[in-house]
Structure 1
């Protein structure tokens, strides 16, 4: 990152940072896309089982990732304030914390997975696939969370192309192991949808090893000598990360968990509907990478400018990011409408499931613009280290407004299973409106704060 003077320079720098993030996020989502589409070709039970397993895993994954994303503004502001010597210590503490969180997730999963699956009205074959898919995936939790911390360090330096390259290198690994383990190729056992979990775990280890090599040996990361010294565990630093990261993680958790809750509530419908819902959600999540990537780039840019006390520049980046996100939302709507049938055919050969997928994707069009505001604003607020109010906004919007609205439309109107997707739109829209108001408050507060510090110094 570097200081920019004009709007054109800001747009160029934000795009330079954002496009590799977008490709990286699409690549990471493509792994789940590969899991889902290839499992669907193995059968409806496999697709439904992976759907249930993914729905239980994704809120945990996104929530923990949100906690660890606190590393991005922490490191960005240190670099912006020219305190680079503090960066290695922060990164190593983040690595320690990620391993501790991974251990907690694995232990909790051991005790709660069976009771949760037994409480759901699933066919035995679907329940079996979901359980063992998650067991396979669990083998990759530690490298996935450690990689997230190292990625925050890489991205904080504005070197987002590196994470893009790493992710693209890992995609063929994911595809090959999915093909081998789902369909029993190259001498591997035929595991169906279960094999997708083990394939993801292998891929996460590959990603971690490649990332470690870059951070330790390639400039501009190697001069920081992140791995030169193994610092002692610092509870105070963990506390700093968690105070910032827990609200971020909970905000993302409440947004992600409503999608998972909808999938779990879908268990009242047929296996075909569950499979179609998951397929449509998986496809639309690829397009969600557009606003998410903008949000991650905005966190880096805004955090850098706030650290340097250039609030007007931080505001300019926020405005650019949101306008661009709205433009991309319009593009996403067109893509969903035009590609709804060929997209559905990627997931299934079953005509009934395909019809359901096409209808679900029509409903997905309606929450694109809400996502285009909601997600980038979250990224801007994280750059300001403002995380507590977005957490409350997400809780209220998704669980008090969105989910009850979806339950009503699904169970008391003719919309049936599609009613839950109406609820998703309600929750996303409410959250976007709350956060837009909060953004104005935070920007004005930070401007006054910098003005007061300037007057005091003079």
Structure 2
């Protein structure tokens, strides 16, 4: 076989491997995002005020949960590299998983303390007192889901590292009907349950995540291919060197993810300063954009594993193929989504909010936000996959700096200026987000292209 044929065969093999790992991760991401989308759908039926209050609550919780998620994500490249090396892989994977659970417990407690005092925090951020009060009502039911969300994702990282995400997909999909039924029952009083409104929506999410964790634990403890790792053995045993290593690797990941998710949360609070209608429209438009984002995010998660495995083997050509394959898939998909959002913004907003005279202004605002969102779809895909491939090389600190500069110094700065000084209002905030995403995408791509010169592909 010629060298060219061998190279082509390698690319085809990598494409198959990436897709095989990515598509269950993508669908699992979509189903997880759907849980929040379902909350948005039902709360939209309560009214724009309730939707705006829940948006403040969810954006605060989302930013905090993303930091925690990034922290435990450190286990993913560590487990993948151990599997790539092959030596003592069962013990190494178990130790990394165990410490990811320790990290989940560690980070959950301060998050709960913050969310318990969310009404005060939201008030300090200049939001209307009624919205802050109702946001706290939602969080009394929702905040407990943080711990179960992190446990689910720790188990998910384990299945992804083994390139066996099928069970994760099935369990994630099951969460959609469960959350839908619980939302209907606990928000509106269906099926003989009490009508709890905003509190019921938050409680429905907590119960859904708890049931999904229970199902995942059942699988990893009973399925033969996972049982041999004895994941829950000696959970109480400390492993301080690995714990510190995971903090060092995971904290930059968490901060980077928090900077990214937090910038959208900050945008929501800026929207609240513009007006309640703008905040409600932002919540819907962001939910739609988040659903499309789940695809490149899943590809990025697959890329972390594939690049990590190749790095563990010391295969520089394999690292290149894994990274560029994922980048092409992620950017290609988001290019298609950009066209879709550009062509059908009003129709997409209408899926979440009834087309009534009192909602006409919110619908129009949401459609205008989606037009801008269509523009940043492409760079959003590029930056998340760029972060994923660098994560596979254990490169997390500099990408964290990229996200801070791009999102907070540039994105929020430009968005706030356009909104309040140039008079663009909500569209200005979304334009700033697009600019920030573009800057981060360029920086991530440049660092990936310089990986060998920077020594990122050296064996670890």
> TM (normalized to structure 1)?
0.94
The residue that corresponds to 2:174 in the other structure is 169
Asked if residue 148 in structure 1 is aligned to residue 157 in structure 2, the reply is no
The residue that corresponds to 2:432 in the other structure is 423
The residue that corresponds to 2:78 in the other structure is 74
Q: Quick one: distance in 1 between partners of 2:104 and 2:445?
A: 31
Task: Spell out the pairing of 1:301-450 with structure 2 (5 A cutoff).
Answer: 301-349=306-354, 350-446=359-455, 449=458
Counterpart of 1:265 (choices 256, 270, 277) is 270
Counterpart of 1:104 (choices 96, 107, 110) is 110
Q: Quick one: distance in 2 between partners of 1:231 and 1:408?
A: 51
Gaps of 5+ in 1: 454-458
Q: Quick one: distance in 1 between partners of 2:423 and 2:232?
A: 59
Q: Quick one: distance in 2 between partners of 1:258 and 1:61?
A: 14
* Cα displacement (A) at 1:231: 4.6
Deviations 1:342-397 (CA, angstroms, capped at 9, x unpaired): 22112212222111111111110111111121110100000000000001111111
Deviations 1:291-328 (CA, angstroms, capped at 9, x unpaired): 11111010010001101111110111111111112211
**Which stretch has the larger CA shift, 317-326 or 115-124?**
115-124
Q: Quick one: distance in 1 between partners of 2:143 and 2:263?
A: 22
Q: Quick one: distance in 1 between partners of 2:275 and 2:411?
A: 23
Equivalent pair of 1:311/1:446 in contact (CA under 8 Å): no
The SS at the match of 1:392 is: helix
The residue that corresponds to 2:208 in the other structure is 203
Asked if residue 282 in structure 1 is aligned to residue 287 in structure 2, the reply is yes
The SS at the match of 1:410 is: helix
**Which stretch has the larger CA shift, 16-25 or 351-360?**
351-360
Task: Spell out the pairing of 1:21-60 with structure 2 (5 A cutoff).
Answer: 21-60=25-64
Q: Quick one: distance in 2 between partners of 1:122 and 1:406?
A: 18
- Give the RMSD, CA atoms, in angstroms: 1.7
The residue that corresponds to 1:300 in the other structure is 305
Q: Quick one: distance in 1 between partners of 2:224 and 2:171?
A: 15
Asked if residue 251 in structure 1 is aligned to residue 260 in structure 2, the reply is no
Q: Which of structure 1's runs of 4+ aligned residues deviate more than 3 A?
A: 120-125, 228-231, 443-450
* Cα displacement (A) at 1:447: 7.7
> TM (normalized to structure 2)?
0.94
